[in-house]
């Protein structure tokens, strides 16, 4: 994929702000700090367009990045951040539920990239999300992040464990540090767009 143009089009704090147009959407899901913003930046070839935050889970919004004026990469709010206020938790649920189950993409969601930190392994929240995705009927795949933190043996063990948990789902090993997996993620997105 050649990214000629990447723009943050919409930062939605309310479901009614989600875009209503013909462009396909690819959503990125995962816990806070899993590396979602880093992945989206690296896919777009931009260093700072998607904020890589040191204070995870601060803002609860859904961010729509328009690529080549053709489709959106959708940065979903992260989950599993313990220090959230009840109000922020409510906001998370309203946006997530509004997007996935109340058709906030207006039928334009073509795939969900579910991020899992390969070093930390799948959390309970990750499992809940992935079980939900399996039932949802959406096309989805896993991006196993931060693989640079593991040696060859650890990496294989972690990948084996993850693939046992979610049989039959594509898993793409990825590192935003080395760029490993970037082409594979784009190829998987291109497949979903076709
Ligand atoms: N070693 C390593 N660190 C990463 C990688 N991706 C993200 N990080 C770091 O993990 C932290 C959270 O990243 P961020 O992209 O903000 O996560 P988000 O909360 O899911 O959007 C930051 O300190 C990043 O620098 C990776 O592939 N390898
Ligand atoms: Mg982020």
Express each pLDDT in 117-151 by its tens digit: 999 999 999 999 999 999 999 999 999 999 999 99
Helix axes 36-44, 182-193, angle to 10 degrees: 80
* Cα 181 to ligand 1 centroid, rounded to whole Å: 15
C-alpha–C-alpha distance, residues 55 and 62, integer Å: 17
67-101: pLDDT as tens digits: 999 999 999 999 988 788 888 899 999 999 999 99
Name the closest ligand to CA 33: 1
Could you tell me the pTM of the whole model?
0.95
pLDDT at 52 over 70: no
Quick: pLDDT tens for 156-167. 999 999 999 999
Q: Tell me, in angstroms, the distance from the centre of ligand 1 to residue 2's CA.
A: 23
CATH 3.40.50.300 is held by the domain 7-193:
yes
* d(CA 32, ligand 2 centre) in Å: 7
166-188, pLDDT tens digit by residue? 999 999 999 999 999 999 999 99
Closest CA to 8 of 51, 55, 59: 51
CA nearest neighbour of 76 among 47, 44, 111 = 111
Residue 54, pLDDT above cutoff 70: no
47 CA → ligand 1 middle, Å: 12
89 by DSSP, 3-state: which?
helix
Three-state secondary-structure class, residue 134: helix
Which of 29, 38, 73, 80 for mutating ligand 1's site (highest number of atoms within 8 Å of CB)? 38
Q: Structure tokens of 59?
A: 């803002």
Q: Which two tokens stand for residue 147?
A: 């693989």
Contact 145, 118 (CB under 8 A): yes
Per-residue confidence (pLDDT) for residue 58, from 0 to 100:
67
142 lines ligand 1 (CB under 6 A): no
Q: Looking at residue 76, what DSSP letter applies?
A: P
């Amino acid at each position: 994929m050649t990214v000629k143009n990447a723009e943050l089009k919409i930062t939605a704090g309310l479901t009614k702000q989600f875009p209503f147009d013909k462009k396909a959407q690819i959503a990125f899901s995962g816990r806070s700090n899993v590396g979602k913003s880093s992945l989206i930046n690296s896919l777009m070839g931009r260093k700072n367009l998607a904020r890589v935050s040191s204070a995870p889970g601060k803002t609860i919004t859904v961010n729509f990045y328009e690529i080549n004026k053709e489709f959106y990469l959708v940065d979903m709010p992260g989950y599993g951040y313990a220090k959230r206020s009840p109000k922020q938790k409510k906001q998370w649920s309203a946006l997530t539920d509004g997007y996935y189950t109340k058709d906030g993409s207006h039928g334009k969601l073509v795939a969900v990239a579910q991020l899992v930190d390969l070093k930390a392994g799948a959390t309970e929240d990750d499992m809940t999300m992935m079980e939900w995705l399996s039932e949802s009927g959406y096309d989805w795949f896993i991006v196993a992040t931060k693989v640079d933190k593991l040696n060859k043996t650890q990496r294989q063990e972690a990948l084996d464990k993850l693939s046992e948990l979610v049989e039959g789902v594509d898993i793409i090993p990825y590192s935003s540090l080395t760029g490993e997996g970037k082409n594979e993620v784009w190829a998987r997105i291109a497949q979903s767009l076709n």
